[in-house]
Structure 1
Amino acid sequence: MNGAQSLVATLVDQGVDICFANPGTSEMHFLSALENPRMRSVLCLFEGVATGAADGWYRMKDTPASTLLHLGPGLANGLANIHNAKRASSGMVNIIGEHSSSHLKYDPPLSSDIEGLARPLSHWVRRAESADTIAWDAAKAVAKASEHPGQIATLILPGDTSWQEAGAPVLPPAAKPARKVPDAARIEHIARVLRSGEPTLIILANKATRGAALERAGRVAAATGARLGSQFFTARIERGAGRVPIERIPYAVAPAREFLKDFKHIVTVETKEPVAFFSYPDKPSLLKPEGTLVHPLVEADEDSALAFAMLLDALGATHTAPRLQPRIETPVPTGALNPVSIAHALAAALPEDCIVVDESLTTGRESMGLTIGAAPHDLINNMGGSIGYATPVATGAALACPDRRVFCMVGDGSAMYTIQSLWTQAREGLNITTIIFANNSYAILKAEYANMGAGTPGERALSMIDLDRPRIDWQAMATSMGVPSVAVDTAQAFHQAMVDSTREAGPRLIVVRL
């Protein structure tokens, strides 16, 4: 067994059984090792697709995937979606190919400071020094990526470490990842805040927006009158009919401050107090009003479900039932496409237990509020703000949950960053409906131009945020990558296209012409 084979065998033994790969020459022995029948290998035509897919896998499985990237430039190509994954607390193991140790001294053209590139967006970076120690290194990488919150582990794999013979694997002592227990005094303090009756918002994030933690948060809200909220972007929310509803803090500064103005207390759960996404002239960065008190209930590395169980006990409310979202039957909309009719079409079309990946800030701005009573589904948002995340994340989510339809909503500007995802979706036969809102511009930047007080955009400025010279032929692009497509220009046709996309297995593309 060589070093690469030892590495792949260890990854699988530690529970990492999928690799999103964009290999190069220095990774050929690792590529050969992917013949291991227990490891699924998925080819991605751009490194940002590979890292984004690993993010999507983690968000649905809560276990890390691995990526295979080619040297420093390959890592650099994947960094934007590693940034998004880190912000979403997604764990992943990145394997970065490197020149052999003897070759590096000649400074070949693809040499770079891989550690320097990886470190700002990794929680753990290591260079594998020998084939004999690669199993130890791999096990440590998986253990780090599996912590709560999820971590980014980067393992650099020199070519000679891959091809040299490895001895019997030596592994570190097994340690099961465990979330920290919340501080009991902190729980008692929050109980006093809630018993005061003063207006309180509990902001949920990460693992607290689903499962037992969300259900228990709903019971706390029902017992105390506190309201449940989330930041504008969240890693994953279980929502829809039968789930505990969560209010979303608005994106823009003015409506966010209006939303928060009457709360005396903000309680944070696996998150921090709300801040503006950007700084604007003459606008505050912190969104809460003066005098509002912020109280942490659950820190990022603690167990939210346990914290809410402790809080219910402190409140004497262990038998309180949560208020659940009733089903809202939304009629199929007709007429022109706009944010409201698009949201209504989504609410009417989403099948039970689907996954929605949203990167449609302009066109989809009404979607969350108007789909709250839709069939139960999971919603995934872009936590890091680097565009080009949606189609890769949808790819990873579909591989993690092959029995669930994934709806990926993305603007045309964002879609161009990682459109290669469609090819992987076709190759793997993934059940993904990609919805591209084609307004032929970076529409969000037109709004931000005004928000920044930069004046009226001139012809040259507008030319930098328009995508209509030439217009992108999305259907031709989808056809070239093996994905059937349809274009729609009415709300009713959009709804029908979504319904039709669920009737057959495999990927589909819907172009929404705006």
Structure 2
Amino acid sequence: MNGAQSLIRTLVDGGVDVCFANPGTSEMHFVAALDSVPEMRGVLALFEGVVTGAADGYGRMADKPAATLLHLGPGMVNGMANLHNARRAHTPIVNVIGDHALSHKGFDAPLESDIDALSEWTHGWNRTSTDSAVIGRDAAEAVAAARTAPGRIANLVLPADVSWGPDGVVASPIEPPAPSIVDDSTIAAVADVLRSGESTVILLGAGATRERGLLAASRIAVATGAKPLIETFPARLERGAGLPVFDRMGYLSEQVQWQLTDVKHLILVGAKAPVSFFAYPGKASELTPEGCKVHTLADLGEDVAAALESLADSVAADAKPVLQEPSRPALPSGVLTPQNWAEVIGALLPEGAIISDEANTSGLMIPMVTAGAPRHDVLTLTGGAIGQGLPVGVGAAIACPDRPVVCLQSDGSAMYTISALWTMARENLNVTTVILNNRAYAILRMELMRVGAEGAGPNANSLLDLSTPDMDFVKMAEGMGVPASRATTAEELAEQFSRALAEPGPHLIDAMVPSLI
């Protein structure tokens, strides 16, 4: 058994049975070894940003890591933006990064790079395998590291000669450490804050935005009057009829400051205190109001849901959560607008849908119109590096093949990883993509005004315009094997969206909407 075979067998034995890949010469023995371990599903993508984004979407929905196969340092660089998003989402991923043979590295070949420096950037677990006899052990430790709460990126560098070496040994799975339990004294201290009667916000982050955490937070709110808020960009938010529904913290600093007006206590649950996404002239970076005390109930790596439940038992033993009643907006009519396209999605969203949301400026209405829709999950742009939506949809669809995936995707950011459509077609994934096409980087138009840049004229505005030439997403999708259509009215969007959901396989709808800005 060669090193690559032992690596793949160890990954599969540890529960990692999907590998998103864009391989090159240094990874050919890994590719060949896939036939010796048929339990490993290899999924080809045409760009490493799709590979890493798909692994992110898979990990968020499967609650276990996928593997990626990346071609040396440049391949990792191509995937780095979506690894940044995955790190911010605390997604478990095992990156297998090919490298030159150890005997070849000293020759400074054209693809030689500092992979160690790149790996460190993911703030995860890093190792280079140097012996095919221990590569199985390295793989087992990588899987355990990725699965360590709340989820990490593990980078395993695989030199070509280690991959082809004949001495591979399969290693047994290693159980990751369990999340630590929040101590009783912390629960009691936060309970005292809630009993004070002072204005309090509970900010729910990683581990708190699924059913257990939401139910406990609602009980606490009912009993104490505290207001739960969801972090701005949750990795995975369960919502819809039958669950408590809370507002998300705003994106703009002014929104956050309004939400925290007169708040005396901010309780963090798997979240960090809010800061402005960017610095703006004359505006604060820290958004916690003066005089507001910050308390941490549970941090990353702790059992966040259990901590919320213990807190609820302490301060809200008899309280019942408030659950969202089923409700739908009426189907709108007329020309598509930044508002009514969202009403179409809210009216027709199917049971069990997974929304990969990169609608950006066009998606402001979606949380409101889907609050009473059937139960669904929302995956958001956790790290702000655009080009996430389509790849995350790929990974979510492979993790949950029996659930419909809906990608709500802005036009500009779609172009970063548009080749994900090809993978959707190749794998026949049930992904319906709605492109919100306003032919502009609309969010940057807003930021141009917010940063106080003076003198912006035609030259500046031309850098934010996507209409010269217009992009034809229907032709692009059809060219990659995805059936596509264009909607200019609410009626057309409703008909096309319903048809796409009813038919197996991927579909794309180019929804023409005017810009908000």
Indicate the TM-score class for this superposition, using the shorter chain for normalisation: over 0.9
Q: Which amino acid aligns with 1:310?
A: S
Deviation at 1:169, TM superposition (A): 3.4
Contact 1:83 1:121 in 2 (8 A): yes
Partner of 1:126: 127
Q: Which amino acid aligns with 1:355?
A: I
Partner of 2:331: 332
Mapping for residues 122-161 of structure 1, pairs under 5 Å: 122-161=123-162
Partner of 1:344: 343
Deviation at 1:414, TM superposition (A): 0.1
Partner of 1:193: 193
Contact 1:243 1:324 in 2 (8 A): yes
Q: Which amino acid aligns with 2:452?
A: G
Deviation at 1:99, TM superposition (A): 0.8
Report the secondary structure of 1:84's partner residue: helix
**Alignment RMSD, CA only?**
1.2
Q: Which amino acid aligns with 2:28?
A: M
Contact 2:180 2:302 in 1 (8 A): yes
Contact 1:59 1:236 in 2 (8 A): yes
Deviations 1:389-420 (A, max 9, x none): 00000100000000111110111110000001
Contact 1:122 1:154 in 2 (8 A): no
Report the secondary structure of 1:445's partner residue: helix
Distance 1:408 1:441 in 2: 19
Mapping for residues 333-372 of structure 1, pairs under 5 Å: 333-372=332-371
Report the secondary structure of 2:229's partner residue: strand
Bigger CA drift: 362-371 or 86-95? 362-371
Partner of 2:227: 227
Contact 1:339 1:367 in 2 (8 A): no
Partner of 1:373: 372
Q: Which amino acid aligns with 2:320?
A: A
Distance 1:437 1:312 in 2: 41
Mapping for residues 394-473 of structure 1, pairs under 5 Å: 394-473=393-472
Distance 2:318 2:30 in 1: 54
| 1:96 is aligned to 2:97 | yes
Partner of 1:252: 252
Partner of 1:33: 33
Q: Which amino acid aligns with 2:480?
A: M
Bigger CA drift: 231-240 or 282-291? 282-291
Distance 1:302 1:56 in 2: 23
Q: Which amino acid aligns with 2:505?
A: G
Deviation at 1:144, TM superposition (A): 0.3
- Closer/same/farther in 2, CA of residues 504 and 170 from structure 1, 3 Å limit: closer
Distance 2:91 2:168 in 1: 32
Q: Which amino acid aligns with 2:400?
A: C
Deviations 1:107-152 (A, max 9, x none): 1111111111111114111100010000010001000000111101
Report the secondary structure of 1:426's partner residue: helix
Partner of 1:279: 279
- Closer/same/farther in 2, CA of residues 309 and 107 from structure 1, 3 Å limit: same
Distance 2:309 2:111 in 1: 53
Q: Which amino acid aligns with 1:453?
A: G
Q: Which amino acid aligns with 1:6?
A: S
Q: Which amino acid aligns with 2:154?
A: A
Contact 1:342 1:367 in 2 (8 A): no
Contact 2:328 2:369 in 1 (8 A): no
Deviations 1:238-259 (A, max 9, x none): 1111111111122112222112
Report the secondary structure of 1:75's partner residue: helix
Bigger CA drift: 352-361 or 257-266? 257-266
Distance 2:135 2:4 in 1: 8
Structure 1 segments of 4+ aligned residues over 3 angstroms from their partners: 167-172
Distance 2:56 2:278 in 1: 24
Q: Which runs of 5+ in 2 are unaligned?
A: none
How many pairs does the alignment contain? 512
Mapping for residues 286-325 of structure 1, pairs under 5 Å: 286-315=286-315, 317-325=316-324
Deviations 1:280-323 (A, max 9, x none): 111111223211111111101111221022212322x3342100
Bigger CA drift: 189-198 or 131-140? 189-198
Distance 1:159 1:488 in 2: 49
Distance 1:134 1:361 in 2: 42
Report the secondary structure of 2:408's partner residue: strand
Partner of 1:110: 111
Q: Which amino acid aligns with 1:123?
A: G
Report the secondary structure of 1:208's partner residue: coil
Bigger CA drift: 251-260 or 143-152? 251-260
Partner of 1:6: 6
Partner of 1:384: 383
Identity, % of aligned pairs? 49
Report the secondary structure of 2:27's partner residue: helix
Partner of 1:500: 499
Mapping for residues 46-125 of structure 1, pairs under 5 Å: 46-125=47-126
Deviations 1:229-282 (A, max 9, x none): 012211111111111111112211222211210322111110111111111111
Contact 1:142 1:153 in 2 (8 A): yes
Report the secondary structure of 2:332's partner residue: coil
Q: Which amino acid aligns with 1:100?
A: A
| 1:237 is aligned to 2:223 | no
Distance 2:230 2:214 in 1: 11
Contact 1:122 1:153 in 2 (8 A): no
Distance 1:392 1:243 in 2: 28
Partner of 1:42: 43
Deviations 1:336-381 (A, max 9, x none): 3223212211110101110111111111112112321222111110
Contact 1:338 1:363 in 2 (8 A): no
- Closer/same/farther in 2, CA of residues 98 and 504 from structure 1, 3 Å limit: same
Report the secondary structure of 1:155's partner residue: strand
Distance 2:19 2:245 in 1: 35
Deviation at 1:176, TM superposition (A): 4.0
Bigger CA drift: 14-23 or 214-223? 214-223
Distance 1:7 1:87 in 2: 27
Distance 1:63 1:10 in 2: 15
Report the secondary structure of 1:427's partner residue: helix
TM, length-normalised to structure 1: 0.97
Bigger CA drift: 240-249 or 18-27? 240-249
Q: Which amino acid aligns with 1:7?
A: L
Contact 1:235 1:381 in 2 (8 A): yes
Report the secondary structure of 2:134's partner residue: helix
Contact 2:354 2:376 in 1 (8 A): yes
